[in-house]
Amino acid sequence: MQRKWKLDGTAVDMVPASLIVWKPLHMKSASRMLIASLHSLPTEEVMICGWVYRLRELARTTFIIVRDCSGEVQCVASSTAIQAVSLKLDEPVEIKGKVRPDTRAKAGFEVEVFEISVLNRVTQILPFNSSSNIAEIGIDTILNHRPLSLRNQSIGDIFKIQAAILDYFRFFLKERYFTEIFTSKIVSSGTEGGTNLFEIKYFERCAYLAQSPQFYKEYGVAGLERVFETGHVYRAEPHASSRHLTEYYSLDLEMGFIDSPQELIQLERELLNFIFERLNQDYGEILKRYREKLLPQMLNVPVWEFDECLRLLNQHFGRSDLVDDLDPEAERQLCQLAESETGIPALFVIGFPLIGRPFYTHPRGNGGAAQSFDLLFEGIELTTGGQRLHKREDLEQALRNRSIDPVSFETHLRMFELGMPTHGGLAIGLERLTARILHLANVRQATLYPRDRYRIAP
């Protein structure tokens, strides 16, 4: 598999697998080369494909920068020939030509064009180009021209970073005996008691879109001890904000045999530290285009008590309006305090009032606090997690305390009679994490096709 075919049909060894061009079964003409593989082929005839990224027309010669998924290269053509095809920026082209060394070109070589075919004409007047500075372009224009905006590096890179985050997330967990699971998004009732659910017409009855894989990942723990799932979850939130969507991509994990949220906090420190280190290392150049500094070290993110947070907010910001929960302003203020104290703009908050947490939350003693935590990072809540109740009788009592009849959760409760260990977990919103890492103002910028009350297309 580690082979690349040359134009004469012979094979060259030792080229990275990622540069392979699949040879058509009944190949008639020269096979297409990826641009990244051109450097090894000086003076050979090649065929490349890609989009017209830049175009500079001089009297006799036209310079065309062509980009494909692997890189970009300068192509040189006769201006007469280019005028004949009336080439436009962002058109997809197929070029046959010859690689020749040229010290003036960035790559040390360029492609002399023998033949150029436009594979599809750009027939709209484009609101921007793949090479434009899109800082001033509105989010709706970007979304309504997604294929084009993705080709703009400053947008495409957001989604490359997003894919990398997920990659590192999975890698870290798989190394620690977590098994990836895939659970249904069509459910018969909600995990949080029936609010903000989207209803589905399911043949003769009603079903709902899952708000979270919470119950399923708990069952997963009773089966496999450590599980994670990454996938879409749904919240019918009627208010649109810069940080809420009705559909988002949740990174969920759950593990068995824990006694407290502390083990989850330590896991998340190591997990985020791993993701951030890898991003700094593999995507440092890209990160610097979005944020001043590389991503911080996360192993020493402090853990603060909720009561202590309220006290600090009062002392430093004169706030006395918070009771059961933090608000976005308090999240920003606390991150600011954490940064000035520890150098890291992040903190874990523990000891939240139980009353504001889902029914399955494990209490901390009898003082009304929960065994759960939030991670605040650079001014925003990134994660909610905690230890869960693992005994059927405790879950029943928790439901009754909220005036919910346990009978309506019978299918769920029965799963706790089959050997459910102590357990807990956490969830991270992928779009929100991406937006924070890249300092994007709106979570929609980190969502390919965001959904809110007003947007369901494209």
Residues in 325-364 at the binding interface with a copy of itself, rule: CB under 8 A: none
Q: Report the nearest approach of a copy of itself to the CB of residue 290 (Å).
A: 18
Considering the complex, state which of residue 318 and residue 419 has its C-beta at the smaller distance from a copy of itself.
419
Per the omega criterion (within 30 degrees of 0), is the bond before 458 cis?
yes
Among 201, 285, 366, 367, binds a copy of itself (CB under 8 A): 201
- Is 194 a residue that touches a copy of itself (CB under 8 A)? no
The alpha-carbon radius of gyration of the chain (Å, integer) is 27
> For the chain, percent helix, then strand, then coil, each to nearest 5?
35, 30, 40
Distance CA(5)–CA(367), nearest Å, equals: 70
CB atoms within 10 A of CB 133: 10
> How many residues bind to a copy of itself according to rule CB under 8 A?
120
Q: Which is nearer to a copy of itself, 58 or 407 (CB)?
A: 407
Stretch that binds a copy of itself, among 284-292, 312-320, 371-379, 407-415 (CB under 8 A): 407-415
Helix (H, G, I), strand (E, B) or coil at 122: coil
| Among the listed residues 324, 280, 301, the one whose alpha carbon sits nearest the alpha carbon of residue 376 | 301
Contact region with a copy of itself (CB under 8 A), list: 56-64, 66-74, 309-317, 365-373: 66-74
Site for a copy of itself contains 176 (CB under 8 A):
yes
Is residue 186 a contact residue for a copy of itself (CB under 8 A)?
Answer: yes
Tell me which residues in 381-400 interact with a copy of itself (CB under 8 A).
390-392
3-class DSSP assignment, residue 435: helix
Q: Nearer to a copy of itself by C-beta: 174 or 316?
A: 174
Query: Of the two residues 265 and 427, which places its CB atom closer to a copy of itself in the complex?
Result: 265
Contact 458, 147 (CB under 8 A): no
Cα→Cα distances 132→90, 129, 136, 148, 347, Å? 11, 5, 10, 11, 38
Q: How far is the CB of 107 from a copy of itself (least distance, A)?
A: 18
The reply to whether 207 sits near a copy of itself by the rule CB under 8 A is yes
- Of 134-163, binders to a copy of itself (CB under 8 A) are 145-151, 156, 159-160, 162-163
User: Least distance in Å: CB of 245 to a copy of itself?
Assistant: 10
Which listed range, 100-108, 134-142, 199-207, 317-325, lies at the site for a copy of itself (CB under 8 A)? 199-207
* Residue with Cβ nearer a copy of itself (58 or 457): 457
Shorter beta-carbon distance to a copy of itself: residue 71 or 379? 71
Rounded CA-CA distance 399/361 in Å is 11
Alpha carbon 199 to its chain centroid, in Å, reads 26
Measured in degrees and rounded to the nearest 5, phi and psi for residue 85 equal -90, -5
Q: Which uninterrupted H or E stretch holds 140?
A: helix 139-144
- How many whole angstroms separate alpha carbon 352 and alpha carbon 401? 18
